A and B are shown apart, each in its own frame.
Chain A
Amino acid sequence: MSSFRTAQENAHPQKKSMIMSTLIVVLLTNLLIQIWLLYTALNNALNSHKEVALSTFIASFILFLAGVIWLYLLPKNVK
């Protein structure tokens, strides 16, 4: 590990922990938005506005990807 990284760890030892907690908050927020998107898609599809179902699907997929990528890139030693 470089001296820069060591200095960073010493200056802010809770950083990784904070990133993990932030990820959980972001994932929960994403989930709430996805529930709303699902509800909107269903209501509009039942009302014959099927284009809404496609756009909400794309938005929901982007939110899912954002969460998964963040989770994948997290340092492995953070519990």
Chain B
Amino acid sequence: MSNEDKHWKKDFPVNRAQSNQVSRRDFAKLLAVVSGGMVAGNGLIAARAYLADDKTNYEKQGICTIQDIPVGGTKSFVMEGESIPYILIHTEEGEFYAYEQKCTHLSCAVYYKPGTKKIECPCHNGWFDVKTGEVLQGPPPRPLKKLIVSIENEEIFVQHPKQENV
């Protein structure tokens, strides 16, 4: 290989105009590398979805008594061994619902708006149905994560639902 043919001379040419030049082939190579990055990112999501251990505690946990939450009121809580905030809602119909208090759009805290039967995300005007957690309006892409609520002797218990496809 002669001195003129060496690859580093192509990558670091003496002429400034040549060094600033990006050919279409170079641009296509860059696009191919970014495309490879997308594949890697997608692979990471797939690997995490299939290989990550499920450390969720599926046992019932007591939160408070019925009298602790007035009608239309809410109570924030954290499950044992977790740091994610949840919200327990006492609707005007006398029913209790528990959801993760993080909007599925950009993780803003969501709040129950009394009298509307809707949960509001004030950041980007997202709305969820209080009975199902489904998105009613706004940018959230997924429903809120719901917990199972049960009442025993006036005490309210919550637990994670069993994953069907784990």
Contact = CB atoms under 8 A, between A and B. Distances in A.
B28 A23 contact: yes
Contact of A45 (B28, B31, B35, B49): B49
For A37, A56, A57, A67, the residue with the greatest tally of chain B CB atoms inside 10 Å of its CB is: A57
B75 interface: no
B38 A24 contact: no
B9 interface: no
B150 to A, nearest CB: 22
Contacts of B43: 57, 61
Contacts of A1: none
Contacts of B50: 50, 53-54
A35 B31 CA distance: 13
Interface string A42-67: 11011111110110110011011001
Interface residues of A, number: 36
Contacts, number: 96
B24 interface: yes
A14 B49 CA distance: 47
Looking at chain B's contact residues, the main secondary structure is helix
Interface of A: 20-21, 23-24, 27-28, 30-31, 34-35, 37-38, 41-43, 45-51, 53-54, 56-57, 60-61, 63-64, 67-68, 71, 74, 78-79
Interface in B129-166: 141-143, 163-165
Given A46-B142, A48-B165, A71-B28, A31 B42 contact: no
